[in-house]
Chains A and B, each alone.
Chain A
Amino acid sequence: MNLGTFVRKNRPHWQKLESMLGVIETRGPRGTDRLFLRELTALYRMTTGDLAFAQTHYRGTTLLLFLHQLVARAHNQIYRPHRFSAKVFDIFIRRDVPRAVREHLPAVTWSIIIFLMGVGLGLSAVQFDERAASIILPSSVLNSIYSGQLWTGSIFSVVPSSIASTYLFTSNISVALLAFAGGLSCGLITAAILFQNGFMLGVAIKLCANYGLLGALLEFIAGHGLLEISSILVAGAAGFVLANALLNPGSLSRIDALAQEGRSAVRMALICVPALVVAGCIETFISPSHFPVWFKAALGLTLGTSFWLYLLFTGKSAPIKTE
């Protein structure tokens, strides 16, 4: 068939398909009816047939490029993945996240070890020389401690709580997600973040102890500390999963290992988002308040342990339904 005849004969249904794609792309499949979709798939099949014909007979023409584009657009509409729904979210929370964590317990262990190394080094650094604290703590915090007061009191009395809580959870989530993405640097950035956070905690504990503020500090972090640190540790573990895929890909290529492990690692990283929002709110509204110590401690302990119980023991028998 001559190219001219081919175009003349088929152009009407190509253009029909094109205009229907315009409709479905703006309105989505729910904005159309059954007849529309049936006609769309019929036109799609006809056009793929035309494309196959054109590939044999009209190589190197612009028409071929057009048909490729048209089929690609139609393909995108017809084979769209399942949209986000409550069910997908439910499966994600109840099954995918705990499974991903359980599959990667060694990474979680490494994450905890590196964090604790940071804490230990922070404690001993201040023990050795108090000036070491100035490496990591800002001078406003240091001055506050030297004058015998916890820095938190001044911050939360000046900054309105809506701003403080938003700032706290956004910066914590950024740290957690960066710890995850840092896995792509073969784990160096992840390890640095975990170590730095541990070091900061160690320094703060030892310095406060030196100035008789240990009780006040522990009371402050009792409510949110466990959940916050656990979240960062899990996000760090997700980063180490990526790093491990890059460094020990096993029988896969590094890229394939990364693509495979990335899918479960990102689930581990994402659970930190809600956890850190909760921790940020407690840190703003409950930790600096005058709630009794036992209440803060009980709250912190309950949240922290239920976070770990959820990750380690749930989702084992949840209904398995992929797709």
Chain B
Amino acid sequence: MTTTTSSWDARKTELELPEEIDLQVEVANVGSRTLAILLDIALAGLVLFIVYTLMILFARNTADDWMTKLTSNAVTTLLILLIFGFQWVYFNFFEWLWNGQTPGKRLLHLRVIKADGSPVSGIDVLLRNLARPIDTMGPMGLLGLLMIFVSRKAQRLGDLMAQTLVIHEVAIDWSIFDQVVREAVASSSVTAPSIRLTAGQWELLHRYLSRRETFPDDTRQQLAESIYKSLKPAAKGTELERSTLPAQEWLIELARRT
């Protein structure tokens, strides 16, 4: 397993799958993990606030019938259980139920997985979350932050003990490949000699083409110019190299010939 550090906040790590291919995943950064925790705290805080308000309301109601007393006791008991539940149960329960996600993590597309790429089991979840008083809660959170920041795979103490990582799942947006289909139809009539682009160049060209409508005119022009400059060498030796078309049209022509 190797880890490449492209920049401090986008660490990628490779996991080896049973199918003998290396799976590249993006390790979640300090910022998104902190935000996920804050979202979880906000959610729990909201629930606690509602129950606390109920408790105060029932406590003020001094009517002496057994119904009121019973409800008041039940609400107070519930509050104690909820406070305990948030401290020790919340993270364990959700990460176990939702395969490594809490509500906060789900909103930010984070997920806990084992360091070997497999999904987390109940014991892994318990190990990483029971360590929270030492590396997440209150002032000890500083230790967790520091560890996520410096450790190679952004693991806090609990993650190291449970051998887990938190990854960022990039949503898959197939729309940038929609252009491929349209171009295929458009290019069927053109019989110019084809130009070979590298995969990276090809993708650059098609991303530009699929997104160009969304840019304002001057940005589109600038972008087309710079992509034109970087792709020009690829058209060497064809009539497209000598063509005097403006950059935008030139790129469309290029797409037809690849």
Chain A residues close to B by CB (< 8 Å) = 2-4, 7-8, 11, 14-15, 18, 45, 48, 51-52, 55, 57-66, 68-73, 75-76, 79-82, 84, 88, 160, 162-163, 166-167, 170, 173-174, 177-178, 180-182, 184-185, 189, 242, 255, 258-259, 262-263, 266, 269-270
Asked if A8 and B180 make an inter-chain contact with CB atoms under 8 angstroms apart, the answer reads yes
CB distance from B51 to the nearest CB of A (A): 13
Give the dominant DSSP class at A's interface.
helix
Which A residue sits closest to B116, measured CB to CB? A79
Contact stretch, chosen from B128-136, B220-228, B234-242, B246-254 = B128-136
Report 20 cross-chain contacts, Cβ distance below 8 Å, ordered by A residue.
Answer: A3-B199, A8-B181, A52-B21, A57-B199, A59-B199, A60-B199, A63-B177, A71-B21, A72-B25, A72-B167, A75-B118, A76-B111, A76-B119, A79-B118, A166-B80, A166-B81, A167-B80, A170-B81, A180-B130, A262-B162
Of B23, B111, B169, most buried by chain A (CB within 10 Å of CB) is: B23
Interface positions of B from 164 to 210, Cβ below 8 Å from A: 167, 169-170, 172, 174, 176-177, 180-181, 183-184, 199-200, 202-203, 206-207
CB distance from B109 to the nearest CB of A (A): 10
> For A7, what are the chain B residues with a Cβ–Cβ distance below 8 Å?
177, 180
Given A70-B172, A184-B134, list of 5 further CB < 8 A pairs?
A: A51-B21, A57-B199, A61-B202, A160-B76, A269-B130
Which B residue sits closest to A258, measured CB to CB? B161
Which B residue sits closest to A270, measured CB to CB? B126
Which B residue sits closest to A47, measured CB to CB? B19
Interface positions of B from 53 to 88, Cβ below 8 Å from A: 69, 73-74, 76-77, 80-81, 83-84, 87-88
> For A14, what are the chain B residues with a Cβ–Cβ distance below 8 Å?
174
Per a CB cutoff under 8 Å, which of A52, A160, A162, A184 touches B135? A184
Cα-based distance from A274 to B120 in the complex (angstroms)? 24
> For A160, what are the chain B residues with a Cβ–Cβ distance below 8 Å?
69, 73, 76
Asked if A60 and B84 make an inter-chain contact with CB atoms under 8 angstroms apart, the answer reads no
Cα-based distance from A160 to B162 in the complex (angstroms)? 40
Interface positions of B from 128 to 166, Cβ below 8 Å from A: 130-135, 157, 160-163
Cα-based distance from A185 to B184 in the complex (angstroms)? 62
> For B117, what are the chain A residues with a Cβ–Cβ distance below 8 Å?
72, 75
Cα-based distance from A124 to B169 in the complex (angstroms)? 59
Which A residue sits closest to B122, measured CB to CB? A84
> For B84, what are the chain A residues with a Cβ–Cβ distance below 8 Å?
170, 173-174
Which A residue sits closest to B206, measured CB to CB? A4
> For B96, what are the chain A residues with a Cβ–Cβ distance below 8 Å?
84
Cα-based distance from A166 to B77 in the complex (angstroms)? 6
> For A75, what are the chain B residues with a Cβ–Cβ distance below 8 Å?
17, 23, 117-118
Asked if A18 and B202 make an inter-chain contact with CB atoms under 8 angstroms apart, the answer reads no
> For A178, what are the chain B residues with a Cβ–Cβ distance below 8 Å?
133
Does B4 sit within 8 A of A, measured CB to CB?
no
Does B34 sit within 8 A of A, measured CB to CB?
no
> For B163, what are the chain A residues with a Cβ–Cβ distance below 8 Å?
259
Does B127 sit within 8 A of A, measured CB to CB?
yes
Cα-based distance from A189 to B118 in the complex (angstroms)? 33
Asked if A163 and B169 make an inter-chain contact with CB atoms under 8 angstroms apart, the answer reads no
Asked if B119 and A258 make an inter-chain contact with CB atoms under 8 angstroms apart, the answer reads no
Cα-based distance from A69 to B123 in the complex (angstroms)? 25
Per a CB cutoff under 8 Å, which of A11, A174, A258 touches B177? A11
Query: 8 smallest A-B Cβ distances: which pairs?
Result: A170-B84, A58-B199, A81-B121, A262-B161, A184-B134, A48-B19, A61-B203, A3-B202
CB distance from B183 to the nearest CB of A (A): 7
Does B2 sit within 8 A of A, measured CB to CB?
no
> For A60, what are the chain B residues with a Cβ–Cβ distance below 8 Å?
199-200
CB distance from A298 to the nearest CB of B (A): 30
Contact A181-B172, Cβ < 8 Å, known A4-B258, A163-B80: no
Cα-based distance from A57 to B199 in the complex (angstroms)? 7
Does B99 sit within 8 A of A, measured CB to CB?
yes
Contact A62-B207, Cβ < 8 Å, known A76-B99, A262-B127: yes
Does B24 sit within 8 A of A, measured CB to CB?
yes
Cα-based distance from A266 to B118 in the complex (angstroms)? 21
Contact A76-B113, Cβ < 8 Å, known A52-B21, A166-B80: yes
Cα-based distance from A231 to B139 in the complex (angstroms)? 28
CB distance from A66 to the nearest CB of B (A): 5
CB distance from A160 to the nearest CB of B (A): 5
Cα-based distance from A7 to B202 in the complex (angstroms)? 12
Cα-based distance from A15 to B178 in the complex (angstroms)? 13
Of A15, A45, A181, A189, most buried by chain B (CB within 10 Å of CB) is: A181
CB distance from B150 to the nearest CB of A (A): 14
Interface positions of B from 85 to 124, Cβ below 8 Å from A: 87-88, 96, 99, 111, 113, 117-123
Which B residue sits closest to A4, measured CB to CB? B180
Per a CB cutoff under 8 Å, which of B19, B80, B199 touches A45? B19
Contact A63-B203, Cβ < 8 Å, known A52-B21, A76-B99, A262-B161: yes
Which A residue sits closest to B17, measured CB to CB? A75
Asked if B21 and A72 make an inter-chain contact with CB atoms under 8 angstroms apart, the answer reads no
CB distance from A159 to the nearest CB of B (A): 9
> For A61, what are the chain B residues with a Cβ–Cβ distance below 8 Å?
199-200, 202-203
